[in-house]
C-alpha cells in the first residue's frame, strides 16, 4: 500500500502522533490535511519529548517531506516558531522539507481574540474551544472573508484586505464582544517581516501529492482531532470546525478519489475527551483521577485535564463506518495495568431501545445509558512486549475482545510512550 491516512476514532488525543511517527519511517511524504495548531501531537523518541502542532509528525525522521495541505488553517507565527524550535534540536535541516499549501487559510491574531472572547462570554455554556482562533478562521474561509497564503504574493493587495479585516474585527470585538481590540499596525508589520520565510515554503501541494502518487511514493496523511469532533459527524456543537474523518483527505489533501489505499484508525485502550459535551462512559472519582495521572491525560496544546472513560465499542463501530477503517491501532494499553476489572461499553440503552452503535441524532448520546461488560485486569508491566504473545494473558484477551466487539482488525498496540514501545501486528506500508 502506498497511500495511508491516519484518523482518530474518538474525541481526539488518541495518540495519532506516535503512530504517524512510527509509520513515517516507511513513508516518503507525511501530510496534514485539516485542522490547525489547536491539535498537538506528543512524541517520545529515545527519551526526548517533542510536541508538534502544525508540522507533520514525519519531521522526526530525516529525508521525509512534510506537507501542510490546503484544508488546514495555519497561524504563520506559530508555524515559524515551531520550525525554529525543531531546527534548534537538529531537525528539518534539509532545504524544501516543509511544503505549505498556497490554498491554506491564515489564522490571524483577531481570530484568536474573537475565539477567546466568545468562550468567556458563554460562561458555563462554553463549548470548550482551545482559544487558538481555529473556528473563527474557518468561519472567514466559508464566508469568503479569509486570507490565504496565496494572497501574500501581492503584498499591496494583501495589506489592503488585511487592514479592512482588522477594522471589521476590531469593531466586532469592541462593540459586540466587549473585548480589547488587536494592534493592527503591529500585525501588518509582523506579517511583512515573516512574509519572505513563508513564501519560500509555498507549494501547489495538491499537484505535489498527485505527482508523488504517480511516482509510487509512499504517502502518510496525518489527521488532527478525532471522528467525534468532526464538524458534520461528531457530537455537534461540541466539535472542532473542520472535517476530521478520512474523506476530508480528498478535499484538504488534494488526493483524487480512488487513490487512497488504507485508513488506519487510532484509539486509546480507554476513552478521553476534552471540553464539554456528551461522554457516555465517563469515569468519575478516584479511578478517573488515577487513570488521568497514569496516562498523563492533559492536553498537549492547552494543558487542560482530559475527561476519562471506559472503552466505547459502539463509538468505535461508528468510527469504522464513517471512515471505512482498514485497521485499528490501540494506544496506551499499559495505562490500564493494575485496574481490575476493566469495563468495556458494548452498547447503549435509550428508552426501551438497545443500540450497538451511535443512536440516530447526536443529541441522543447525552441521554444514553452505557451497557458494560467486565473483563479481568492484569498487574504485569507491558513495556517490553513486542508481540501480542508477549502480553500478559488478560491484557492479550482484552485486546482480542476489543477486536471482536468492534470487528476492526487490530494492527498495532501501544505499550508505552516511546516510539519503540509498540507492537506492530500489521504495517499498511508493508502490505
- C-beta of residue 429 within 8 angstroms of C-beta of residue 218: yes
Q: Could you tell me the three cell numbers for 398?
A: 482484552
Q: Find all residues with CB under 8 Å of 91, minimum gap 6, and list them.
A: 59, 60
Q: What residues form DSSP beta bridges with 66?
A: 30, 98
What whole-number distance in Å separates Cα of residue 98 and Cα of residue 93?
Answer: 10
In 190-341, at which residue ranges do the beta strands (DSSP E only) sit? 202-203, 219-222, 262-268, 271-273, 307-309, 311-312, 327-331
What whole-number distance in Å separates Cα of residue 191 and Cα of residue 272?
Answer: 37
In 102-218, at which residue ranges do the beta strands (DSSP E only) sit? 105-106, 202-203
Catalytic-role residue among 26, 28, 41, 289: 41
Active site residue 41: yes
Q: Find all residues with CB under 8 Å of 107, minimum gap 6, and list them.
A: 36, 37, 73, 74, 75, 76, 78, 132, 133, 134, 137
Active site residue 48: no
DSSP for 247-303? THHHHHH-PPTT---EEEEEEESSEEE-SSS--TTB--SHHHHHHHHHTT-B-TTT-
Q: What residues form DSSP beta bridges with 370?
A: 348
What whole-number distance in Å separates Cα of residue 17 and Cα of residue 385?
Answer: 20
- C-beta of residue 397 within 8 angstroms of C-beta of residue 375: yes
- C-beta of residue 146 within 8 angstroms of C-beta of residue 105: yes
What is the end-to-end Cα distance of the chain in Å, rounded? Answer: 6
Q: Could you tell me the three cell numbers for 112?
A: 484568536
Distance of CA 140 to the CA centre of its chain: 21
Catalytic-role residue among 13, 75, 103, 115: 13
What whole-number distance in Å separates Cα of residue 420 and Cα of residue 415?
Answer: 9
What whole-number distance in Å separates Cα of residue 142 and Cα of residue 132?
Answer: 18
What whole-number distance in Å separates Cα of residue 149 and Cα of residue 152?
Answer: 6
Q: Which residues are the active-site residues?
A: 13, 41
Amino acid at each position: 500500500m502506498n497511500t495511508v491516512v491516519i484518523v482518530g476514532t474518538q474525541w481526539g488525543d488518541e495518540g495519532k502522533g506516535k503512530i504517524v511517527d512510527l509509520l513515517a519511517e516507511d513513508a516518503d511524504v507525511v501530510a496534514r490535511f485539516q485542522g490547525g495548531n489547536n491539535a498537538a501531537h506528543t512524541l517520545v523518541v529515545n527519551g526526548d519529548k517533542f510536541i508538534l502542532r502544525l508540522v507533520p509528525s514525519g519531521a522526526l525522521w530525516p529525508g521525509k517531506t512534510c506537507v501542510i495541505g490546503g484544508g488546514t488553517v495555519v497561524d504563520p507565527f506559530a508555524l515559524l516558531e515551531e520550525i525554529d524550535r525543531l531546527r534548534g534540536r537538529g531537525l528539518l535541516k534539509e532545504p524544501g522539507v516543509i511544503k505549505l499549501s498556497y490554498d491554506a487559510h491564515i489564522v490571524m491574531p483577531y481570530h484568536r481574540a474573537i475565539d477567546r472572547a466568545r468562550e468567556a462570554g458563554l460562561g458555563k455554556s462554553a463549548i470548550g474551544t482551545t482559544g487558538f482562533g481555529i473556528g473563527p478562521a474557518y468561519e472567514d474561509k466559508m464566508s469568503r472573508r479569509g486570507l490565504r497564503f496565496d494572497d501574500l504574493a501581492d503584498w499591496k493587495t494583501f495589506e489592503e484586505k488585511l487592514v479592512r479585516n482588522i477594522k471589521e474585527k476590531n469593531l466586532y470585538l469592541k462593540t459586540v464582544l466587549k473585548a480589547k481590540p488587536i494592534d493592527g499596525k503591529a500585525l501588518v508589520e509582523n506579517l511583512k517581516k515573516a512574509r519572505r520565510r513563508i513564501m519560500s515554503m509555498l507549494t501547489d501541494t495538491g499537484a505535489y501529492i498527485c505527482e508523488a502518487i504517480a511516482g509510487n511514493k509512499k504517502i502518510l496523511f496525518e489527521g488532527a482531532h478525532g471522528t467525534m469532533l468532526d464538524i458534520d459527524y461528531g457530537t455537534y456543537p461540541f466539535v472542532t470546525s473542520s472535517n476530521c474523518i478520512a474523506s476530508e483527505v480528498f478535499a484538504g489533501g488534494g488526493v483524487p478519489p480512488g487513490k487512497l489505499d488504507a485508513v488506519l484508525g487510532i484509539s486509546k485502550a480507554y476513552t478521553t475527551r476534552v471540553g464539554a459535551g456528551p461522554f457516555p462512559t465517563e469515569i468519575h472519582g478516584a479511578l478517573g483521577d488515577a487513570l488521568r495521572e497514569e496516562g498523563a491525560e492533559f492536553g498537549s496544546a492547552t494543558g487542560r485535564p482530559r475527561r476519562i472513560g471506559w472503552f466505547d465499542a459502539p463509538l468505535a463501530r461508528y468510527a469504522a463506518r464513517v471512515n471505512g477503517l482498514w485497521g485499528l491501532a490501540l494506544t496506551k494499553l499499559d495505562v490500564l495495568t493494575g485496574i481490575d476489572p476493566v469495563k468495556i461499553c458494548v452498547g447503549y440503552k435509550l428508552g426501551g431501545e438497545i443500540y450497538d452503535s451511535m443512536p440516530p441524532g447526536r443529541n441522543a448520546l447525552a441521554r444514553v445509558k452505557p451497557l458494560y461488560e467486565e473483563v479481568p485486569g492484569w498487574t504485569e508491566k507491558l513495556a517490553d512486549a513486542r508481540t501480542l504473545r508477549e502480553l500478559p494473558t488478560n491484557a492479550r484477551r482484552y485486546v482480542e475482545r476489543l477486536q471482536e466487539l468492534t470487528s476492526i482488525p487490530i494492527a498495532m498496540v501501544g505499550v508505552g510512550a516511546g516510539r519503540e514501545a509498540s507492537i506492530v501486528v500489521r504495517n499498511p506500508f508493508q502490505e
